[in-house]
Amino acid sequence: MESVSLSSRLNKAVRQQYMSLPQDGKCQVTYIWIDGTGEGLRNKTRTLNEEPKSIEDIPEWNFDGSSTYQSEGSNSDMYLIPVCMFRDPFTLDPNKLVLCEVLKYNRLPTVCFLETNHRASCKKVMEKVKEYAIWFGMEQEYTLLGTDKYPFGWPTNGYPAPQGPYYCGVGADNAYGRDIVECHYKACLYAGVNIYGTNAEVMPSQWEFQVGPCEGIDMGDHLWVARFLLHRVCEDFGVVATMDPKPMKGNWNGAGCHTNVSTMDMREEGGLQYIEQAIEKLGKRHCEHIKVYDPRGGQDNIRRLTGHHETSSINDFSAGVANRGSSIRIPRQVGQEKKGYFEDRRPAANCDPYAVTKAIAVTCLLNKEEEEEIE
């Protein structure tokens, strides 16, 4: 069975003729938003008469929320509020991609089928903790699937050789689908997404890219756009990227979204004591964090956080220097230099980065009164 989509095999030379036509000063702007599943991304495009110079030049827009699991049909007009602008690596300059927040008819954040606008409350928290200059870096793991929903490049009847040679591997027998990884990386750089790096993962067809360091709300904005770019690049190649935290049962690694964190205090001389204080606070609220580290209150992550395959158990909180089997890892170099950042290894690959970074900032940096003020 063919595992690459039909669309990906349309004639790309014909496409190129049209893509290189001049556009007479007009600008195509693609609005991107998170749908009612809290995981899916949607987009639609309109023409502006001039190239927008900043986010303020991009008008609000709307869409039919009853088709995205975001509202009932009887009251379905939703607002798209542009929040962050990038260059479009697919149709090229002067065209733009713009990430949007979704507001419902009464201009409040959407809280329909699933509460999917986590950005609004995340932004409030990030404004409150601004003085700490909190930085995040997230490691997005994902798995490539064929259109048959089976990992890309795996034999149709059976399994590839066991894990071992694939992590950071090279060669046709080790690296499955590198074209996508390299094209996505270039697309991120062109767009202006703060991509930090990329590597092949432990399970064949599983890869990772990192975004960051990003301050405050930028973390969620840049990761969501990086995810959009990944899905869009995969579409061109006719395969699918899944963020499922455990796509294959058995002796195969799951997929996480390790979240690296530092404040100005932690980055400065002797910062390790602030890292230890933050970890102490995180330990007291383990269960609360697990609830927001995947879109289903921990139900997805439970398949991944088993205590095996470089994970900690979902039921326990632990921390350690250079320990990849703990909830929180202090990188070896940070332990030696006594300053830097820590890594929260619990978030699932399909987490909402706004929900994750918000929870970490609240737990580590706000006191009870300040926390109540934002709720």
* List of residues contacting ligand ADP (CB under 6 A): 135-139, 196, 210, 212-213, 258, 260-262, 267, 340-341, 343
Cβ proximity to Mn ion, 117 vs 210, nearer residue: 210
- In angstroms, what is the minimal distance from the CB of 172 to ligand ADP? 24
Rg (C-alpha) for the chain, rounded Å, is: 21
* 260 touches, from Mn ion, ligand ADP, none (C-beta below 5 to 8 Å by class): ligand ADP
* 267 touches, from ligand ADP, Mn ion, none (C-beta below 5 to 8 Å by class): ligand ADP
- In angstroms, what is the minimal distance from the CB of 254 to Mn ion? 10
Cβ proximity to ligand ADP, 123 vs 329, nearer residue: 329
**Is 359:351 a contact under the CB 8 Å cutoff?**
no
**Is 209:256 a contact under the CB 8 Å cutoff?**
no
- In angstroms, what is the minimal distance from the CB of 278 to ligand ADP? 12
DSSP output for 141-176: EEEEE-TTSSBTT--SSS-PSPSSS-TT--STTT-S
| Bridge-based pairing state of the strands 319-321 and 96-103 | unpaired
**How many other β-carbons are positioned within 10 Å of the β-carbon of residue 359?**
24
**Is 349:140 a contact under the CB 8 Å cutoff?**
yes
* 347 touches, from Mn ion, ligand ADP, none (C-beta below 5 to 8 Å by class): none
**Is 85:93 a contact under the CB 8 Å cutoff?**
no
* 97 touches, from Mn ion, ligand ADP, none (C-beta below 5 to 8 Å by class): none
Cβ proximity to ligand ADP, 87 vs 267, nearer residue: 267
Cβ proximity to ligand ADP, 135 vs 142, nearer residue: 135
- In angstroms, what is the minimal distance from the CB of 136 to Mn ion? 13
Cβ within 8 Å of residue 18, ≥6 positions away? none
Compute CA 294 distance to the chain's CA centroid, rounded to the nearest angstrom.
11
Please give the Cα distance from 274 to 286 (Å, whole number): 18
* 135 touches, from ligand ADP, Mn ion, none (C-beta below 5 to 8 Å by class): ligand ADP
Footprint of Mn ion on this chain (CB under 5 A)? 139, 208, 258
Cβ proximity to Mn ion, 119 vs 258, nearer residue: 258
- In angstroms, what is the minimal distance from the CB of 184 to ligand ADP? 15
Residue where the block lists tokens 């409030």: 124
- In angstroms, what is the minimal distance from the CB of 266 to ligand ADP? 8
